[in-house]
Structure formats: C-alpha cells, structure tokens
Amino acid sequence: MHTLLSALILATSLFTSTASAAECQWDDEDRQSVFVAGKNVYVGAHAYSVAGSVGQAEFENELRRCGADNAVPAYREWVGRRRWVKRGTTGIIVGALVPVGWFTVLPAAIIVTAVHGPRAADAREATVRAIRATAGE
C-alpha cells in the first residue's frame, strides 16, 4: 500500500507541475551552499524536508524545476539506500534484544547496514555535487 501511495504521489507531482526553471528560487550562491542534515536538504536558505513520500516527491520536483535533472538519479539512490540503512538499524536493535536474533537477525542486519550505509553517503554526496554543478547555467 505504501509503495502504491508513493507512486501515486510522485506521478501526481510530476504531471501537475507546470513551473519552469524561471520560477526556481535558487540562485548560483544557493546552489554552492548545499548540505544535508538528517532528513532535511538545505540549498542556500531554502530548507526541504525529505522525510516521507510527499517530501521526497516535492524535493525531486524542485530539482527538476531548478534544472538539476542530473541530481535526480543520485537523489533516488540516496533515498532508497537510506531506507535500507533504517531497516538494518532496526534489525540490529531487534536482533540485539532477542536472544534468538543474535544468530539470525543480527548478522544480516549488520551486513545490510554495512553495505548500504557507505553507499547511501556516496549517493547523498553525488546529489549535492550534482546540484552544485548547476551553478552558472
């Protein structure tokens, strides 16, 4: 159900957006000052919450509106890998609390987190670099 809702929200946001690059709020200085803190992305003085499907679709829409189409694939990868890290972290906690989980859940959760954590960070940085690269266009 959650996946279907996410797809509907994303499709709606893509087809209902009529904004052009001229309506983008970011200037070149904003594009050079991009950073991520938790579930928020900051582009200059503009803050975007990317928690949940709606926030993710809105930020993706903003990327397109502002001509940062090259950042969209990295952003999608970051969101997907962040989801895996969250699942792995939850698995580590559950596996540590339940004695049977020490041999079943815990090893798998540690592997998932170890694999996806660095890749999520790489995708996040690729997103930031792609947004910065649009400065001066």
Q: What is the pLDDT of residues 75-109, one digit of tens each?
A: 999 888 888 888 888 888 888 888 877 777 888 88
Give residue 49's pLDDT.
92
Give residue 134's pLDDT.
84
65 Cβ partners below 8 Å, 6+ apart?
A: 17, 19, 20, 21, 23, 24
Give residue 72's pLDDT.
92
Q: Cα–Cα distances in Å, from 26 out to 22, 45, 48, 69, 113?
A: 10, 9, 12, 14, 34
Give residue 63's pLDDT.
92
The model's pTM: 0.69
Give residue 19's pLDDT.
44
Sign of CA dihedral 106, 108, 113, 114: positive
Name the β-bridge partners of 34. 43
All residue ranges of the chain with pLDDT < 50 are 1-2, 4-5, 7-21
Give residue 65's pLDDT.
92
Give residue 35's pLDDT.
85
Query: Alpha-carbon distance 91 to 49, whole Å?
Result: 25
Residue type, 95: G
Query: Alpha-carbon distance 63 to 70, whole Å?
Result: 9
